[in-house]
Structure 1
Amino acid sequence: MSRFTGLCLFVLAALPHALADVDVSGIYGLVERRMPRHVGKFTLKGMDGEGDAFVISDTKGHSGGVTVECTTTNACARGLYTYVTEFGEVDIWWTGSRLHELALPLPKVGKPVSGSAIVPYRYHFNTVTFGYTTAFCGFDKWSLLLDWLALRGVNLPLAWNGYEKILIEVFQEVGLSDAEIFEFITGPAFLPWNRFGNEQGSWGGTLPVQFVEDQFALQKQILPRMVELGMTPILPAFTGFVPRAMASHYPNASIVNGSSWSGFLTALTNDSFLEPFDPLFPQMQKSFITKQQEAYGNITHFYTLDQYNENDPFSGNTSYLSSVSSNTVDSLRAADADAMWVLQGWLFFSSETFWTNDRVEAYLSGAPSDDSVLILDLYTEAQPQWNRTNSYFGKQWVWCQLHDYGGNIGMEGNLPAITQGPIAALHANGSSMVGMGLTMEGQEPGNELVYDALLDQAWSTTPLNISDYVTKWATRRYQVKSLPLNLKEAWGILGSTVFSNQDLASQATIKSILELSPDTTGLVNRTGHHPTKIPYDTNSTILAALELLVQTSKSTPALKTVPEFAFDIVELSRQLLVNRFVDHYNNLIGVWNSTSSSPRDVLLAGQPLLNLISDLDTLLFTNENYLLSTWISDARQWAHGNASYAAYLEYSARNQITLWGPDGEINDYASKQWAGVVGEYYGARWEAFISTLVGTKTSGQAYNSTVVKQVMLSIGETFSRKTWGSASEETWGTKGDTFTVVDVLLKHWT
């Protein structure tokens, strides 16, 4: 038996067993939710076999019926998805489900079609996605997302909601007061970084108990849906991060302070860490997991636990690191004998100087066997760590695509890497890879193509043909029998350029300088983390594709009624405008730097930037997927009509996408190109910046970057403190017609 085969046998045992009596009731429920006209048309049933496999065929003796046989519940969902996309040419998107538009009678299958996953695990979520995307989502949005995941074959999703409820009970059990506990927990939009041990405490007010209770109740809706759809949730565990008061309650306990994080004041970072070899750690771990099982049932053996996310260990001694991990695994398995420790491998990249191979090996060697830990190689498409660590020294790991830092909005992807890379890694000598997954920081629908591609690659033994894949993807996206030549050309351009970006200096996110705090230098052509360098020619890519879509909308007006088509028109127009912004910014700085220019020249050079911001805001208001009001509405819904509580939630939501901290510690990290943010917030900053440049030209005084930064932070603080108040219902929605607005924009900015 090969090493890889042995790993597969273990993970098959860890996931729902492949039996002929597969529970398909949850998939029937999905059909009822998303395809109510087609209830009774599908026959779903289990079949014998190993792994996740399915067979699709026409139902014998049932005219117009389709049968999906499957070895697991999740494989049944994937088989259904294969049918509706390949034969029905409909899909479910982050912008909404179109599955109900599947034709009747159902299209014939003909010769039966089979499929099987090439890896046992298909993973989804980053811990910070629970801040950048789902922080305020209700179950209606979760329901759509979970159906999206199941159909695409995800069977191992992260599930963080409700964590604080269990953690608080554990802290209370060891004698901490509520005041001591809530001094430690952060605000609602920043909980992931408290869970990571990066932050403690809050700004804007203490987290309400009501929010804790509501998220716990939401988790009790999410988890049963995950399970019935054939997914095994990864639940939290006790990490070891504790309130500072813990040390006074247990003066002899081994508690150390973590490192500072991202420029926050000591009061808000340097989290206390109860070391796993202290006897109190396994006691609290046992309590946590037991309470969690009592609350949700015995539904998983997978536990997420990250101790050193952007937070270096107390010691670099290899024996110390091995002791931390061995005691961590022991604590998990004392609470759950079959526990699997899941950790994000981001630390090995982000702190690569600390995490030498010797230290990585020592830390991972603390896990007693190769089947006790599962590592998410978080940024494999650009910065893989498995190859430098000898496949994580034999420990199981998942090939992941990291994307959308901070939930930023910018078109980018690397289709060659995510189609070829996983296949090569899977078959590499000594590979211990057992999964593929998505670990984007924020989920933004503009890059859905590259997310779909990775999850589809998990069901193909050979790299997907990018050109063919993109064409088929766009065909079902626009609900057409055959893709018009203009659209095929447009997506051919995007698929081979914007979404085949192999420039390692500008990957994962391409941030627009429009979203950055204005300055005279340092904005354009940034590389590395949060690059602003645009790795393609805008005219031959974005503009060319947009013009082809617009032409097709006029020759085929019915496309205007397809929500995804309208979304793509807005997305391409948005990207065109923010790219054009760079040109006008460069011109402004050139004029300002010229010794022969006048204050009026600077003012005139700055006006196109303000005009563009205004036009971009107008564009974004035409589509429901680009509204600040949606983010704010989602946050305020948890207030149950309490005005002061709603204002608290709104502040947390606004602060995250602007200052990200009380004093702009991570200013603009989670910036968003949303209507209401662009026009009001970015517009105010750039207007103030241009006014400053005009003022310096008039007075002859030197430009003071520090003063400008303080002005921008002040604008951010003002924006963060605003509330919707008694705004009319219309204020929350869209306004204007996308296609009319885009026609005008193309005349102005091309």
Structure 2
Amino acid sequence: MNQKMSRLHLFLLLLSLLIILLSQLVPIITVGASSQIGETMEALQRKLDDQRASPSVQEAAVKGVLKRLLPTHLSSFELEIVTKDVCGGYSCFQISNMNSSSIKEPEIKIKGTTAVDIASGIHWYLKYQCGAHISWDKTGGMQITSIPRQGSLPRVNDNGMMVQRPVPWNYYQNVVTSSYLLSKSVCLGMLDAWSHDSYVWWDWKRWEKEIDWMALQGINLPLAFTGQEAIWQKVFKNFNISKEDLDDFFGGPAFLAWARMGNLHGWGGPLPQSWLDQQLALQKLILSRMLELGMTPDETITEESRTMWRQKTNANLNAVARIKRNKSRISTLTTYEGVELDKQEEIKGYIV
């Protein structure tokens, strides 16, 4: 009995020592891993900062945002890009008063490390100093009647103010945002105003409005998937896949998100070449504006994503080949659970 107790005591002692040892090692490992991740993030941030549009380009872009938002007060604000050194090494915006002798001279100066930071400073000032509300149409829209007339804008603290960005990136959207609203409406047989909120039906005017909203909200890492099928078409062409073959592969506009993720093929299609070309041209406008504002559109290709792209391409090639071999199976590849076949044909006919 005593031997058993001694062994138990020895075991508990060793276990206690092991726990103490691990408790000392875990923080070291965690700190080391966190330090490595932090260094990697800082290196990536520096690389992205070096690749941003020039200060003059960003200043012109954010002035465009202000002009579209509040054209009557364009001369009331002075906007300037500054380095992170001015912000203590972080991204930030600064707001200060200006001495103006006429209504044509700037009253408020807003500095920022990027055009997005300046735009978020504009939004902060209009919201908290002027009582304005800037949102999507369905969540209040543009409520700017509370903003005083030019020459009478409220002043901030005499020493000015600075707001640092709490995180390096503000991410926006998800991979199904481009089509899920319309798809839901179509599948339920309810084509209403919500249907047109889907990105695939937007023109440049609507996209410009959305990008302005992104900048005002401080978003600097938006997804940018528009025109993806046009790029895939070019890639597949190198593998001797024809436009006709892809007609049975690409999903229609209302179902792009699911087609891109490989959940279905051909449903709601085919995509006309004119539509593919138009989407690619639109994407170039979208990316140009995002870059001018200092954003980082989420289309960056890393080595990991290259590997994933190769795997995705191989999977897509196999899918195209499978569809070519047996087109009679397309209906089974593109059915929706819970939607009757005759309803599916009705939906497909409407989309086409």
Check whether TM > 0.5: yes
Contact 1:35 1:100 in 2 (8 A): no
| Residue ranges of structure 2 left out of the alignment (5+ in a row) | 1-31, 181-197, 302-308, 323-327
Shift in CA distance, 245/30, structure 1 to aligned 2, threshold 3 Å: closer
- Name 2:153's counterpart in structure 1: 106
Deviation at 1:11, TM superposition (A): 3.5
Q: Is the 8 A contact 1:16 1:72 kept in 2?
A: no
Q: 2:176 is aligned with what amino acid?
A: V
Matched residue of 1:12: which SS? helix
Tell me the distance in 2 between the aligned counterparts of 1:212 and 1:125.
Answer: 22
Aligned to 2:17: none
The answer to whether 1:127 aligns with 2:169 is no
User: Is the alpha carbon distance of 1:51 and 1:7 closer, same or farther for their aligned partners in structure 2, counting shifts above 3 Å?
Assistant: farther
Query: Which letter maps to 2:170?
Result: R
Output the amino acid matched with 1:224. S
Map 1:566-645 onto structure 2 (within 5 A): none
1:665 aligns with 2:337: yes
* Paired AA for residue 40 in structure 1: S
| Deviations 1:653-711, CA, capped at 9 Å, x for gaps | xxxxxxxx65x4255xxxxxxxxxxxxxxxxxxxxxxxxxxxxxxxxxxxxxxxxxx6x
Aligned equivalent of 1:57 = 96
AA aligned opposite 2:136: W
| TM-score, structure 2 normalization | 0.68
For the residues of structure 1 that align with 2:47 and 2:124, how far apart are their CA atoms?
25
Q: Is the 8 A contact 1:20 1:48 kept in 2?
A: no
Are 1:211 and 2:250 counterparts?
no
Q: Describe the shift of the 1:718–1:164 C-alpha distance in structure 2 as closer, same or farther (beyond 3 A).
A: closer
Change in 2 beyond 3 A, CA 1:198/1:269: farther
Q: Residue 163 of structure 2: SS of its match in structure 1?
A: strand
CA contact (8 A) 1:43 1:67 kept: yes
Using the TM superposition, give the Cα deviation of residue 40 of structure 1 relative to its aligned residue in structure 2, in angstroms: 0.9
Change (3 A) 1:268 1:28: farther
Identify the residue that residue 11 of structure 1 maps to in structure 2.
Answer: 44
CA distance in 2, matches of 1:242, 1:236: 21
Q: Does 1:43 align with 2:73?
A: no
Report if the CA contact (8 A) 1:89-1:102 is conserved.
yes
Query: Aligned partners of 2:319, 2:347: CA distance in 1, in Å?
Result: 34
**TM-superposed deviation, 1:163:** 1.0
2:113 is aligned with 1:71: yes
| C-alpha distance in 2 between matches for 1:54 and 1:236 | 26
Residue 20 of structure 1 and its aligned partner are, at CA, apart by 10
2:236 match: 171
Distance 1:720 1:169 in 2: 26
Match of 1:81 in 2: 123
Give the drift of 1:215.
0.9
Summarize the alignment of residues 362-381 of structure 1 with structure 2, pairs less than 5 Å apart: none
> How far 1:28 moved relative to its partner?
0.3
1:34 counterpart = 2:69: yes
Match of 2:289 in 1: 225
Contact (CA 8 Å) 1:159, 1:236: kept in 2 or not? no
TM-aligned CA distance change 1:722 to 1:209, over 3 Å: closer
Q: Per-residue deviation at 1:73?
A: 2.1
Q: Secondary structure at the match of 1:211?
A: helix
Residue 330 of structure 2 corresponds to 267
Select between 86-95 and 236-245 the one with higher mean Cα deviation.
236-245
**Alignment RMSD (CA, Å):** 3.2
Residue 438 of structure 1 corresponds to none
Please state whether the residue corresponding to 2:80 is helix, strand or coil.
strand
Distance across 2 between alignment mates of 1:97 and 1:70: 24
Distance 2:343 2:208 in 1: 37
- Output the CA distance in 1 between the equivalents of 2:47 and 2:81: 19
- Alignment partner, residue 508 of structure 1: none
Equivalent position of 2:187 in the other structure: none
Give the distance between the partners of 1:666 and 1:233, measured in 2 at CA. 36
Q: Deviations over 1:300-346 (max 9, x none)?
A: xxxxxxxxxxxxxxxxxxxxxxxxxxxxxxxxxxxxxxxxxxxxxxx
Shift of 1:211: 1.2
Matches within 5 A, 1:297-336: none
Shift of 1:202: 2.5
Report the Cα distance in structure 2 between the residues aligned to 1:231 and 1:110, rounded to whole angstroms: 30
In structure 2, what is the Cα distance between the partners aligned to 1:102 and 1:94? 18
What is the correspondence of 1:523-538 to structure 2 with a 5 Å cutoff? Answer: none
Deviations 1:53-72 (A, max 9, x none): 11101124466610011122
Q: 2-side partners of 1:244 and 1:715: how far apart?
A: 29
Distance in 2 separating the partners of 1:719 and 1:268: 13
1:718, distance to aligned residue in structure 2 (A): 5.7
Aligned pairs for 1:456-605 within 5 A? none
Distance change (3 Å), C-alpha of 1:720 and 1:200: closer
Residue in 2 aligned with 1:97? Answer: 142
- The alignment partner of 1:44 has SS state of strand
Letter of the structure 2 residue corresponding to residue 110 of structure 1: N
In structure 2, the CA distance between the partners of 1:246 and 1:722, relative to structure 1 (3 Å rule), is closer
Post-superposition Cα deviations, 1:542-562, rounded to whole Å, max 9, x if no partner, equal xxxxxxxxxxxxxxxxxxxxx
Contact 1:123 1:156 in 2 (8 A): yes
The whole-number CA distance in structure 2 between the counterparts of 1:146 and 1:183 is 33
- Are 1:184 and 1:201, in contact at CA under 8 Å, matched by a contact in 2? yes
Partner Cα separation in structure 2 for residue 103 and residue 718 of structure 1:
53
Which structure has the bigger radius of gyration?
2
Q: Match for 1:231: what amino acid?
A: M
Tell me, what secondary structure is at the counterpart of 1:242? helix
Whether the 8 Å CA contact 1:199–1:268 is kept in 2: the answer is no
> How far did residue 221 of structure 1 move?
1.8
1:717 is displaced (CA, Å) by 6.3
Conservation of the 8 A alpha-carbon contact between 1:19 and 1:72:
no
Which of 197, 200, 205 is matched with 1:140 structurally?
205
As a proportion of its length, which structure holds more helix?
2
* Displacement of 1:172: 1.0
Answer whether contact 1:200 1:268 (CA < 8 A) is retained.
no
C-alpha distance in 2, partners of 1:94/1:226?
A: 19
Over residues 360-412 of structure 1, what are the superposed CA-to-partner deviations in whole Å (9 max), with x where a residue is unaligned?
A: xxxxxxxxxxxxxxxxxxxxxxxxxxxxxxxxxxxxxxxxxxxxxxxxxxxxx
Letter in 1 for 2:108: V
What residue number does 1:116 align with? 164
1:386-444, CA deviations, whole angstroms, 9 ceiling, x for partnerless residues? xxxxxxxxxxxxxxxxxxxxxxxxxxxxxxxxxxxxxxxxxxxxxxxxxxxxxxxxxxx
Q: Where does the alignment leave 5 or more consecutive residues of structure 1 unmatched?
A: 249-264, 271-660, 668-709, 724-750
Tell whether the 8 Å contact from 2:246 to 2:320 is kept in structure 1 after alignment: no
**Maintained 8 Å contact 2:53/2:294:** no
Displacement of 1:130 = 0.8
Higher relative contact order (CA 8 A, sep 6+): 2
Q: Secondary structure at the match of 2:49?
A: coil
Percent of aligned positions with the same letter in both sequences? 30
Aligned counterparts of 1:212 and 1:116: Cα–Cα separation in 2: 41
Q: Which residue matches 2:298?
A: 234
C-alpha contact (below 8 Å) 1:77/1:151 kept by paired residues: yes
